[in-house]
Structure 1
């Protein structure tokens, strides 16, 4: 570790100290700054499963940039394609490129609910565009979302993602500075509650522009859709002619090449994808029914504006093309799903052996330990009451042993194609050691 002999500060600590002078909180987002809960850290390199700090400390990475890294860091095939694309110019900003056609064709062939595609650069942009398209189509303003589902930072949807217990059932703004009218036009009900959805449609069906959800809410670990919940959403939205929006920013291409919509057999009207679409490159898309996307064609009566100077940039599209092809050709989901099952089973055994109150949640390539709560969560309320302090102790202990993930107890671990049995064995052995010290 590289330390300053005059202060005994590591290079990471010195860089973070400088960062706090010029960057709010010392990181680009508050969520990134939470990494400092386990000690100041500045990363310099990543390859495969390994993150390396400026002090040459190495960690096995389970954070994976909040989930985009599905193939492993610096995956040669993807990076080579992005470098090759840069050789032809990064951005044209007019007309069409062959790359955007190729990637759009892949998305329309893989995702059941996607007939046309508009590219953008982040999941937040994609959900923003989706809601604008839905509002233009219906002429309505209100949207329905679910507690515990995160759809980005903008005013339309940054509501009741992590509401306190006394704010359940209402529209809880997650940020200061949000427009009150945006919050008022966002209706919120519990996930998996079919009756609550039907009640909203009885009371507000004529005023609804869209229903948006994570088909598997991973912003609070993992909540699986129960019974006929997704089918109910499809039925009531179709009957009311209200677009159903699947936010597959996390689930798309991480759980299945065909998204959660392919996995669960429910086809939405609009789909938002990002994260694993480009294995870390900034690329995202909103896709869906042709009549909905046609509103943004630029020469139609509706005149919906979907814009962005950097949308369709060549490196991002090249990365997306190669990532999608690799996911299919390498059967990535089978690998990460089988491995995820082993991580979850091993952690459950350790909790039981150590007689620690808690549960392991997750699906396919995602898992998380939630201390102080038991039983399968059905909705966000079932996540309330988890032991945040114990999770942070666990995160600190695991980082000391060379495993990195965000110390936020509501978030999750991710796996990639680069993870294997060796990483599994090391993780479970060290987790057992940390559990013994909690």
Structure 2
């Protein structure tokens, strides 16, 4: 270990809980202390001078690659004109809102914020105000941010799966599992949880709680547990049940938005939600997010003393983030970025799957577009969280450690995912598969 890394991480641990800004970021230390000082294209540089190909990409925002010249230039130009105004509007704010309305089929009005968690928080408040109800229905294995409204039943421990509430009155409903200490019990109790991809469970929960539901929220493709692909019967039930009961359907496209399609996963799946949350790839790493949707829902936050919903934030609509978003969205559409990086993702998945077969290792490679995950100890297409919870986390961490030693960086969390960017090339693919072949050979031995 490099002395500078040792000193820096030690200093971090003395002033920052766990030595990183979040527990998820601190998981990088599981494979040894590490600290970064630069990033360019698909490469991270550590303070020890080590170059690593980045498959983490900050949990996915960096779709065009680190330090994209045009995006950075747009952000810097915005800073030169004015860092923050905090009243009325700007031309840049209007342009990006218009862009989102044009790109996303469901969006008629837009409110900007700074993170995906803020976006889902605002969406749920809008839904509750519209319906006058408080309960939110979510799906096990879907992550919608850190706040009490939804940080429930994302990664229930395997032991919890054997103790699910399957009583006659609750049907296939699941006991809500709070993901954090300190959560408001009333918020947890107001969360209805059902398995993903289970139309019967969805219909039963809607029948039981329909008159009390404020909204239904989901990741259209849950990438917080690798990748679950929604089935047509599930999507049909989702649309039919929410439409029939006038319960707002919220698509959390924080991960999928603009990474899988310039028009969102909603366009790919041909489902029109009532509210949509976007962030991450929208700004290629700059802090920018938005909630958009039906005009009547967003109009509740109009600020005219008759609109009762408060959506606020001093830094919402930051010119720097919006300028980065405008440039990023233009590039995503003009250069068909989702198609290009998605095609590369197909080749990573195919190559990695072949290697698992070659080495006789039980596992699977899942993913969609530019996202992929290798999951050890499980096989078959996963349909819900129960199909993911039994994966072999220890073997994944061994794989992650071996790949990091050979210059490839991704989080050692076995539920998470690899991301690709426009900066990843065929050379990166070849190097990754060559090194994965060597690491997997060691694991099989």
Matches within 5 A, 1:127-166: 127-166=120-159
Q: Work out which of the residue numbers 171, 175, 179 in structure 2 matches 1:174.
A: 179
* Partner in structure 1 of residue 247 of structure 2: 242
The alpha-carbon deviation at position 300 of structure 1 amounts to: 5.1
* Partner in structure 1 of residue 71 of structure 2: 78
Q: Is contact 2:299–2:307 with CA below 8 Å preserved after alignment?
A: no
Structure 1 stretch displaced more, 27-36 or 160-169: 160-169
CA deviation profile, 1:293-336 (whole Å, cap 9, x unmatched): 00000115341000000000100000000000000111101111
* Partner in structure 2 of residue 62 of structure 1: 55
Partner Cα distance (2:4, 2:229) in 1: 42
Where structure 2 has 5 or more consecutive residues not aligned to the other structure, the ranges are 162-173
Partner Cα distance (1:347, 1:238) in 2: 41
Q: Is contact 2:93–2:317 with CA below 8 Å preserved after alignment?
A: yes
Q: Secondary structure at the match of 1:215?
A: coil
Q: Work out which of the residue numbers 22, 29, 34 in structure 2 matches 1:36.
A: 29
The alpha-carbon deviation at position 11 of structure 1 amounts to: 1.2
Q: Secondary structure at the match of 1:19?
A: helix
Length-normalised TM-score, structure 1: 0.97
Q: Is contact 1:49–1:60 with CA below 8 Å preserved after alignment?
A: yes
Q: Secondary structure at the match of 2:81?
A: coil
Partner Cα distance (1:231, 1:300) in 2: 38
Partner Cα distance (2:55, 2:299) in 1: 39
Partner Cα distance (2:434, 2:208) in 1: 53
RMSD: 0.8
Q: Number of paired residues?
A: 431
Q: Work out which of the residue numbers 176, 179, 194 in structure 2 matches 1:189.
A: 194
Q: Is contact 1:136–1:302 with CA below 8 Å preserved after alignment?
A: no
* Partner in structure 1 of residue 167 of structure 2: none
Q: Secondary structure at the match of 2:70?
A: helix
Partner Cα distance (2:307, 2:186) in 1: 23
CA deviation profile, 1:332-351 (whole Å, cap 9, x unmatched): 01111110000000001000
Q: Secondary structure at the match of 2:277?
A: strand
Partner Cα distance (1:60, 1:197) in 2: 41
Question: Are residues 1:429 and 2:426 paired?
Answer: no
Partner Cα distance (1:224, 1:300) in 2: 43
* Partner in structure 2 of residue 124 of structure 1: 117
* Partner in structure 2 of residue 344 of structure 1: 349
* Partner in structure 2 of residue 412 of structure 1: 417
Partner Cα distance (2:362, 2:14) in 1: 41
Length-normalised TM-score, structure 2: 0.96
Q: Is contact 1:165–1:384 with CA below 8 Å preserved after alignment?
A: yes
Question: Are residues 1:270 and 2:275 paired?
Answer: yes
Question: Are residues 1:286 and 2:291 paired?
Answer: yes
Where structure 1 has 5 or more consecutive residues not aligned to the other structure, the ranges are 1-7
Q: Secondary structure at the match of 2:232?
A: coil
Q: Is contact 2:158–2:390 with CA below 8 Å preserved after alignment?
A: no
CA deviation profile, 1:53-91 (whole Å, cap 9, x unmatched): 111100000000000000000000000000000001110
The alpha-carbon deviation at position 235 of structure 1 amounts to: 1.0
Partner Cα distance (1:414, 1:359) in 2: 17
Structure 1 stretch displaced more, 8-17 or 269-278: 8-17
Q: Secondary structure at the match of 1:87?
A: helix
Partner Cα distance (2:334, 2:15) in 1: 44
The alpha-carbon deviation at position 9 of structure 1 amounts to: 4.5
